[in-house]
Amino acid sequence: MEFERPLVELEEKLASLKRLHVSDQPELAAEIAELEAEIGRLHETLYAALTPWERVQISRHPERPKTDDYLAALFADVVELHGDRLAGDDEAMFAGLASFGGRRVAVLGHRKGKNTNENVRRNFGSPHPEGFRKAERVMRLADRFGIPIVTFLDTAGAYPGIEAEERGQAISIAECLATLSAVRVPVVVIGIGEGGSGGALAIGFGDRLIMLENAYYSVISPEMCATILHKDARRASEASTCLQLTAADLVGFGLADTVVAEPRGGAHRDPETVFSGVREALSAALDALSAADRSTLPDTRYERLRRIGEIAGA
Amino acid sequence: MPISDWFKAREQRNYTTPTQASAPSDVPDGVWVRCEGCKHTLYVGDLERELMVCPNCGRHHDISAPERLAILVDEGSFEEVDEALRSVDPLGFTSGKVYADQVASAEERTGLGEAIVTGRATIGGRPAIVGVMDFRFIGASMGSVVGEKVARAFELALAERTPLVLVTASGGARMQEGVLSLMQMAKTAAAAARLAAAGVPYIVVLTNPTMGGVTASFATLGDVLIAEPGALIGFAGPRLVEQTIRKSLPKGFQSSEFLLEHGLIDMVVDRRGLKDRVALLLTYLAAGDE
């Protein structure tokens, strides 16, 4: 990532020095110690107070754990459910059934790829209407069989393409929102990376919102916001700050319930720590929600939504 | 109030789509306008008589919320609700224009409190809860107040078991209220789902333009979706789509007619027949309550 470049340069220098190092060169050893200390200091300053734009960059890191990684780490006996029963199977959206700590759950999640091939097939995690319709179908299935829903958010947004519009991108998202608002099962949403606009929201609200420390959730991408305001996508950093899109901002607005801490530098530096943080938060959320009378869940969820927003003259 | 009174203010507005045509030398200014569709010079009186639809090419020019109410609901029947709700600036958004100033200037320019007007009315003698959006107000984007007024309109329709008719026009969610605007999509869609579950009819009239987060929430959850001819309706803006796919867009992409062809809306209705059509649909859908 751009802001990490000074650190990467030092780390490369250190590695090359270490390759040269032999025990009879004390001056080299001193230089290595000096460099290590400098790297330590840079670590502190780089990551101590990340800007919103730096967090957005971390949320998009190619090595960041993705929905597939959480499926493998947190769940057992995963059964994927394919297709929207209408036109196709969108690989940008995962839907399936799984076991979480002995509890059955329905899992939905945006699916970015690990490599170029996967990313092309999955449109870099940006669903078409087929993806939203598949998700909506599985929401209804979960409702019918009383299975709690767990969703993973990681998308830049719904795919902006001709075919997506022809097949009703907007309507497919609207129907997800309507269905998700009314399911009589607990809904726990986990923001693991990008929370881009309507495409994220389609599976992105419920009874609890857990956010990873460096995940974001926004009405518009910082680049697009900067383009609209200043006709200059390079001012995305400034736009990120204005939009108040970080996990901490979401807690401030009362939208997020829990923030899962990430290791210094981001989730990709130590995925296991993050998986265990998410496991714990998800487990606590499901425990709390399973105590509630299921028939009251839609009303409680509606009240939660009704409180969102700031208004004068009400 | 007679339609002509609503239309009087039109000459002072700066968003009016028909542009002032250079008047023939012996008539006063503001009497002639040029159609944005066919470029014909039209007499304002003729255009107004046709509800701002060009008598030559059928182009539907944008109209304000008060103008829309005047042609949709029965004369004198509209009683506004929630008129005191006003936007605040929850993010302190000052990048580009200062949001608080934008709201204040939109209020002053339009005489409206926000980008949607809601209330009780009758249409062809049938009671309805009605909401009309006004694109002049910050592109009728949906922030906390628009979302709240829409949600309350659904709740009022539910409480009174009265059909809801919403006329949409919007650029989408309001960027300046950040994720709070995004959440208004979920809030309004949830309110729509509750009305649907209760079996109270909900009719949507999609007008130019209805885009983004409004199309992707309450605007497409109606029992019947009507669009005005030639309106731009979609999720992603056409420029974004063009930039993403790096191809030019097919003619008529995201127009009402394009949506009809792809099975996404029920009908395209000429503004001059809109009120009668809505009234007829209300009689069909509300029949169960009789």
In terms of Cα–Cα distance, which of A162, A72, A80 is closest to A114?
A72
How high is the mean pLDDT of chain A? 94
Query: Given this model, what pLDDT does residue B21 score?
Result: 56
Of all helices (H) and strands (E), which one includes residue B268? strand B267-268
Chain A interface disruption, residue of B183, B188, B253, B260, most A CBs within 10 A: B183
Q: Which fold has domain A54-306?
A: 2-enoyl-CoA Hydratase; Chain A, domain 1 (3.90.226)
Complex confidence, ipTM = 0.93
Structure tokens given for B224: 């019947």
Band of pLDDT at residue A154, cut at 50, 70 and 90 = very high
d(CA A282, CA A150): 8
Contact predicate A261/A213, CB 8 Å: yes
For residue B117, is pLDDT > 60?
A: yes
Q: Check if A175 contacts B (Cβ < 8 Å).
A: yes
B127-143: average pLDDT: 98
The model's confidence at residue B14, banded by pLDDT at 50, 70 and 90, is very low
CA B69 – CA A89 distance, rounded (Å):
43
Residue with tokens 């990873």: A212
Q: Are B185 and A197 in contact (CB under 8 A)?
A: no
Residue of A174, A217, A312 with shortest CB distance to B189: A174
Residue-wise pLDDT for A277-299, tens only, equals 999 999 999 999 998 899 999 99
Residue B197 clears pLDDT 90, i.e. is over it: yes
In the CATH scheme, what architecture does the domain B62-289 have?
Answer: Alpha-Beta Complex (3.90)
A219 vs B182, B235, B240: nearest CB: B182
Tell me the nearest-neighbour CA distance from B241 into chain A, angstroms: 5
Q: Where are the domains of chain A?
A: 2-49, 54-306
Phi-psi domain of A124 (left: phi exceeds 0; alpha: psi -120 through 50; beta: other): left
Which of A50-54, A289-293, B2-6, B171-175 has the weakest average pLDDT? B2-6
pLDDT of the residue at A48: 76
User: What does the domain layout of chain B look like in residue ranges?
Assistant: 17-60, 62-289
Q: Which band of pLDDT confidence, cut at 50, 70 and 90, is reported for residue A27?
A: confident
B88 contacts on A by Cβ (under 8 Å): 310-312
Across the range B238-259, mean pLDDT stands at 93
pLDDT-derived band at B2, boundaries 50, 70, 90: very low
pLDDT digits (tens, 9 = 90+) for A36-79: 888 888 887 777 789 999 999 999 999 999 999 999 999 999 99
Choice among A64-68, A152-156, B25-29, B159-163 with the minimum mean pLDDT: B25-29
